[in-house]
Chains A and B, each alone.
Chain A
């Protein structure tokens, strides 16, 4: 594992190294651009750390194997991009239903379908939240620098173990290849299974320890026995699965807020948000609201910032986070919304934002 200190790493390598620091000891994956370097790096590094690396036959088995390993109490991860992320959706719902910790890294590229293989996009933001069928909640994190990829990878493992839930880390084609200076801290905090007690999160019991576990994706009672026709069993289970994330939003959410008093608030995340910083330096009437936790939506942090403001969202998709931002901001009296939406691979620049600000 990397010893504490300063390094010069690409986003993909940073994710791989950070997962090892976080205690990840199982990686299964299938090659796909632009996430492949995570897998290649894991292939070289994982077995030396005593863990398991396997290249599976497709993304469906990659996530399935990672969930299977998670059930044994091994911190596990898979990484993928666009089409692979789509293939994983059914089993992400299974992990949510069976409350199995697993971390999925999605290095976003242009879609739909095969789309722009090597080009940056942010089109998976809603899929990360709503991709699988039925009611469930994902925890979704988004980084805007290589350093943050490291910090959030470690946090992703901690959150998945704490909440017994799949956690999705969104990277993108640009961050994946970007090489930046990073610092590995001396004191990395790794949460162990059952270390933190959270309301609505049952105790984690691993396979193979004589627990006689019955695990199923069917609606089940506390024993894990399938009961699919009882209204109350389903209601109780699924409400708890949703509430364990929703009601703990305060504990999960993490937002960078700059200049919250400003009249104009830029809401952005990931690589797009980097366009905002030069403007913040120049203009005091512009503030930033940048969630590192996209889902659950950081409503507790939004209240003070969104009160009667001009909201400018900046993202690289045509239908995305702005919908949720608008829903929340309207609650707090904001009426003026403008969305900067750039697709095709062009990363938003300060100029794009300035043009919108000057119209004001």
Chain B
């Protein structure tokens, strides 16, 4: 498939702000599909609510834009009813980890064969830049005007602990590594998860002296450190959970394992879950 065939062109122009990281995410996703020679016919993209939730709507294939926080639950139903399909969830940090936090840890535990791309911009961009469970400590948002009193979730570590088969974290400043990880995620059986640290210059950066997308992106890059370069001390669970913008983003592949995906326990002859009739 040609690269631009992945876009649903009659929906252009898209709604994303100038400088948004979602362009990089979309391009990386299509590059991964293109490199793997996968077409969109056997793939369903599922998303929740939010800026990232709008991404599947611009993809030239089946897309399901669900209710807030529930894309994993919908994707589970779609995948189990049609195991022959690739089911890819692409949604934001607020959707997947605040309102939808319960679903993602259970889907990872269950090891349902769905692929999740979580775009983490540390805020609720679509609704105007409110506090997210991923907003770093002390940072300013519209609902934390004096600084965030809370501590953020470390998403990849959480999903790895919940039992996913593959977990990686990259940033929009690492597109090549991101493409490779998406390819691994798409081809690994079971629940796989790729977190992308992304910039939101308009609704997050602007309030935290990072309104310039280039500066924001460079800042993310400068504060990322590959897992291979992490010293022994920093590998303690405490350091991982205390991740914030003032410290480091550990990037790389966190988990690669081979637990059996969620499946049927009984094989029957009148199994309706066979590939579709052409």
Q: Which residues of A contact B (CB under 8 A)?
A: 25-26, 28, 47-52, 54, 56-58, 60-61, 64-72, 74, 76, 90-91, 94, 207-218, 225-226
Contact = CB atoms under 8 A, between A and B. Distances in A.
Nearest to B103: A61
B60 A212 contact: yes
Contacts of A210: 41
29 contacts: A48-B266, A50-B269, A52-B264, A54-B76, A57-B102, A58-B102, A60-B70, A60-B73, A61-B70, A61-B76, A65-B80, A68-B46, A68-B73, A68-B78, A69-B77, A69-B78, A71-B78, A72-B82, A76-B77, A90-B67, A207-B78, A208-B82, A209-B276, A212-B61, A214-B57, A215-B64, A217-B66, A226-B57, A226-B65
Contacts of A51: 272-273
B177 to A, nearest CB: 30
A55 to B, nearest CB: 10
B204 to A, nearest CB: 24
B32 to A, nearest CB: 20
Given A65-B77, A68-B73, 13 more contacts: A57-B102, A64-B67, A64-B73, A65-B73, A66-B77, A68-B77, A68-B78, A70-B77, A71-B77, A94-B67, A207-B78, A208-B85, A213-B64
Q: Report which residue of B74, B268, B272 has the largest number of chain A beta carbons within 10 angstroms of its beta carbon.
A: B74
Given A68-B76, A76-B77, A48 B57 contact: no
B218 interface: no
A67 B85 contact: no
A182 to B, nearest CB: 24
A50 B271 contact: yes
Q: Report which residue of A61, A90, A210 has the largest number of chain B beta carbons within 10 angstroms of its beta carbon.
A: A61
A5 B68 CA distance: 46
A207 B276 contact: no
B223 interface: no
Contacts of A58: 102
Nearest to B11: A225
Contacts of A56: 73, 76, 106
What does DSSP make chain A's interface, helix, strand, loop or mixed?
mixed
Contacts of B228: none
Contacts of A71: 64, 74, 77-78
Contacts of A60: 70, 73
B81 A69 contact: yes
Contacts of B63: 213-215
Nearest to A217: B67
B264 A26 contact: no
Contacts of B271: 50
Nearest to A56: B73
B57 A216 contact: yes
Contacts of A91: 67, 70
A213 B76 CA distance: 18
A225 B67 contact: no
Contact of A47 (B8, B42, B78, B266): B266
B82 A49 contact: no
A58 B101 CA distance: 12
Contacts of B85: 72, 207-208
B215 to A, nearest CB: 32
6 A-B pairs closest in CB distance: A68-B77, A65-B77, A61-B73, A64-B73, A69-B81, A216-B65
Nearest to B49: A217
B81 A52 contact: yes
Nearest to B79: A68
A226 B63 CA distance: 12
Contacts of B269: 50
Contacts of B8: 212, 214
Given A26-B81, A60-B70, A61-B73, A52 B273 contact: yes
B118 interface: no
Nearest to B106: A57
A38 B74 CA distance: 22
A84 B61 CA distance: 34
A112 to B, nearest CB: 23
A94 B68 CA distance: 11
Contacts of B35: none
A75 B28 CA distance: 36
B80 to A, nearest CB: 5
A69 B80 CA distance: 7
Nearest to B39: A210
B62 interface: yes
A210 B278 CA distance: 10
A118 B267 CA distance: 36
B62 A212 contact: yes
B74 A68 contact: yes
Nearest to B109: A57
B265 interface: yes
Contact of A211 (B62, B82, B106): B62
A284 B207 CA distance: 77
